[in-house]
């Protein structure tokens, strides 16, 4: 099992980046009312055909050259199923992919969420050409971090420039205390 939910987010988003996605939507909801944690990652990358989708959940399939074992998706599926949740994958060639995993929030094997601030920041600044839309919520608060909108406000200043990184670090620290 991976150390935390953020490690899964990083891995699933890396798949979207590898699939040439230009827009990646990451939804994380922690609902005490529903006793459920839900992670959904949607991208507009190259997508997968039916046969690939079936093989992807098998750990001995990977299209990466020089490697036989792709573990990102099987690990997420495994964690979801171990933790009383479900795993779904929908994908269309040329359109994109949607991956959804749920977990029972009070399951004893559920890994911690991990450092969401750093995860969001690192994905954002290490893939400046990709637009990320993060929607992080619980039963009360709904937080949206839209890098396309932020880039618009920056008016040409790179999102990975030191002063912007400093600003975003503080901004995320301030707004993500609830999760
Ligand atoms: N969002 C996506 N869009 C298109 N193809 C995808 C996407 N996610 C996964 N795939 C395909 O599924 C394969 C398996 O993904 P998985 O994350 O399980 O392993 P990997 O990325 O190959 O290796 P690892 O994650 O262990 O470094 C990928 O190699 C890729 O071909
Ligand atoms: Mg992967």
**pLDDT tens, 138-178?**
999 999 999 999 999 999 999 999 999 999 999 999 999 99
| Nearest ligand atom owner, CA of 14 | 2
* CATH classification at residue 147: 3.30.565.10
For residue 38, the SS3 value is: strand
Q: Which two tokens mark 40?
A: 């959904």
Which pLDDT value is given to residue 68?
59
- Atom index in ligand 1 nearest the CA of residue 63 equals 29
Which pLDDT value is given to residue 57?
86
Domain encompassing residue 33: 5-175
- pTM attached to this predicted model: 0.96
From the CB of 157, is ligand 1 less than 6 Å away?
A: no
Alpha-carbon Rg for the chain in angstroms: 16
Q: What is the DSSP letter of 138?
A: -
The answer to whether 123 and 13 have CB atoms below 8 angstroms apart is yes
Query: How far apart, in whole angstroms, are the C-alpha atoms of residue 118 and residue 124?
Result: 10
Which pLDDT value is given to residue 144?
98
From the CB of 90, is ligand 1 less than 6 Å away?
A: no
The CA-atom distances, in angstroms, between 160 and each of 71, 143, 149, 154, 167 are 29, 21, 15, 11, 11
Which pLDDT value is given to residue 38?
99
For residue 145, the SS3 value is: strand
Strand partners, 132: 24
Which pLDDT value is given to residue 45?
98
Which pLDDT value is given to residue 1?
81
From the CB of 64, is ligand 1 less than 6 Å away?
A: yes
Q: Which two tokens mark 121?
A: 């920041």
The dihedral through the CA atoms of 8, 147, 99, 56 has a sign that is negative
For residue 54, the SS3 value is: helix
Length of the chain: 179
Query: How far apart, in whole angstroms, are the C-alpha atoms of residue 112 and residue 134?
Result: 19
Task: Give the chain's domain count.
Answer: 1
**Segments in the chain below pLDDT 70:** 61, 65-69
Which pLDDT value is given to residue 14?
98
Query: How far apart, in whole angstroms, are the C-alpha atoms of residue 178 and residue 152?
Result: 27
| Nearest ligand atom owner, CA of 94 | 1
């Amino acid at each position: 099992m991976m150390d935390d939910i953020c490690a899964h987010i990083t891995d699933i988003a890396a798949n979207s980046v590898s699939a040439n996605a230009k827009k990646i939507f990451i939804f994380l909801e922690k609902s005490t009312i529903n006793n459920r944690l839900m992670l959904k990652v949607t991208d507009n990358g190259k997508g997968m055909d039916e046969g690939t989708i079936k093989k992807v959940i098998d750990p001995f399939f990977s299209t990466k050259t020089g490697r036989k074992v792709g573990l990102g998706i099987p690990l997420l599926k495994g964690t979801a199923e171990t933790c009383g949740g479900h795993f779904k994958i929908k994908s269309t060639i040329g359109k994109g992919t949607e991956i959804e995993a749920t977990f029972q929030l009070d399951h004893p094997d559920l890994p911690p969420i991990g450092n969401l601030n750093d995860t969001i920041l690192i994905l954002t600044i290490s893939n400046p050409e990709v637009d990320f839309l993060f929607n992080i919520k619980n039963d009360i608060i709904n937080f949206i971090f839209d890098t396309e909108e932020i880039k618009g406000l920056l008016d040409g200043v790179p999102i990975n420039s030191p002063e912007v990184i400093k600003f975003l670090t503080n901004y995320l620290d301030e707004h993500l205390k609830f999760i």
